[in-house]
Amino acid sequence: MRAWVLDRPREPLRLREVTDPSPGPGEIAVEVSACGLCRTDIHICEGEIELPKLPVVPGHQAVGRVGARGRGVRRFREGDRVGVAWLHGTCGTCPDCARKDENLCRRARFTGYHVDGGFAERVVVPAAFAYALPPSLDDTHVAPLLCAGIIGYRALRQADVGSGETVGLYGFGSSAHIALQVARARGNRVFVVTRGERHRELARRMGADWVGDSGERPPEPLDRAVIFAPAGELIPQALEAVRWGGTVASAAIHMSPIPQMDYTKHLFGERTLRSTTASTRRDGEELLAFAGTHGITTEVTLFDDPNEGLRAIRNDAIQGSAVLRVK
């Protein structure tokens, strides 16, 4: 089969023939039609996070049909449409897994990072970690839900967002444009702070209640805030913008250094700062069900070369999500 392979960090992905993977016990092989492109893929390709496997096929928002099943698989049938996300598997036995915090499992394995991912014609995943997909979105438009959507959904949970509250979103890319729709469907007012007029225009078009430029302060205190951009300087800005008792959650897997903060200005008043680490299968199942019943959509730009798509994300050159056409 053909796959886009990362041989070394900071080198372009190369399209070449690789061994066609076969599913083992409990696994399914998915014939990939589309795979979302993610800022995490940039961190992997640039070596900004430690790489446990090289060469590696990136990609962790893959959509396709089940082409083969390993021994013991009952959950899916051949031909079923499924999604493959970042979380490839966990140990299932550690204290974190026992608490149902499987996203914190130290032995978790991730798609396109520990194992080859979806920038390929075929990907293998444990059936227990694949997702049934809502029929309301086609393959290219459902792909971004599998990471951008899931992480945004979990970040809103980490920020303790309640119905009717005012939520600030800092940065407005793939994840935030989905999170905005989720928040509004739950009855929240949403304020967006982002650089780049094309991102601000998309935020307005998707129903943001207020949109400001990077560094601009929202017109009133926020109840909660989520930071999507991997920019450490946004953390003190968001903490200063939330009310006393408010919460700021970061959705980033990697972030630039956080500036020194002033305790009184940024944390006093029982303000809370949280990170978002990966996601659980429950997050994915809830988000996909919510998207299917609430008309969540995605703004998509299609690419045939992942290098071009990742470059566009890095340069803030697209609105919404980038998706690789595989077949």
Mean pLDDT throughout 32-49?
A: 96
Distance, CA of 35 to CA of 129 (rounded, Å): 16
pLDDT digits (tens, 9 = 90+) for 220-236: 999 999 999 999 999 99
Helices in the chain by DSSP H: which ranges? Answer: 39-45, 95-98, 139-142, 148-158, 174-185, 197-205, 234-241, 281-294, 306-314
pLDDT at position 327 is 79
For residues 156 and 256, state if they share a domain.
yes
Residue 89 counted as domain residue: yes
Q: Is residue 19 domain-resident?
A: yes
Q: What is the pLDDT of residues 71-87, one digit of tens each?
A: 999 999 999 999 999 99
Is residue 258 located within the same domain as residue 189? yes
State mean pLDDT over 97-120.
97
Residue 119 lies in a domain: yes
Number of DSSP helices (H) and strands (E) in the chain, helices first: 9, 17
Spell out the long-range contacts of 88-91 with Cβ–Cβ below 8 A and sequence spacing 24 or more: 88/114, 88/115, 88/125, 88/126, 88/129, 89/126, 89/129
Q: Tell whether 165 is covered by a domain.
A: yes
Give the model's pLDDT for residue 104.
97
Q: How does residue 309 score in pLDDT terms, banded at 50, 70 and 90?
A: very high
Give dist(CA 313, CA 46) in Å, integer.
Answer: 13
Does residue 154 sit in the same domain as residue 71? Answer: no
Same-domain pairing of 182 and 259? yes
- Residue 285 in any domain: the answer is no
Residues 137, 69: Cα–Cα separation, whole Å: 25
- Please state, in angstroms and rounded to a whole number, the distance separating the CA atoms of residues 189 and 210: 9
Residue 250: CATH number of its domain: 3.40.50.720
Q: How confident is the model at residue 217 (pLDDT cuts 50, 70, 90)?
A: very high
Do residues 67 and 29 touch, judged by C-beta distance below 8 A?
Answer: yes
The residue range of the domain holding 59 is 2-132+297-325
Range name among 176-180, 196-200, 297-301, 307-311 with the lowest pLDDT average: 196-200
The verdict on 33 and 90 lying in the same domain is yes
Overall number of domains in the chain: 2
The verdict on 108 and 11 lying in the same domain is yes
Stated as kind and residue range, the H or E segment containing 145 is none
Mean pLDDT, rounded, of the chain: 97
- Give one DSSP letter per residue of 151-164, joined into a string: HHHHHHHHTT--TT
Report how far residue 87's alpha carbon sits from residue 129's, in angstroms, rounded to the nearest whole number.
7
103 and 185, same domain (yes or no): no
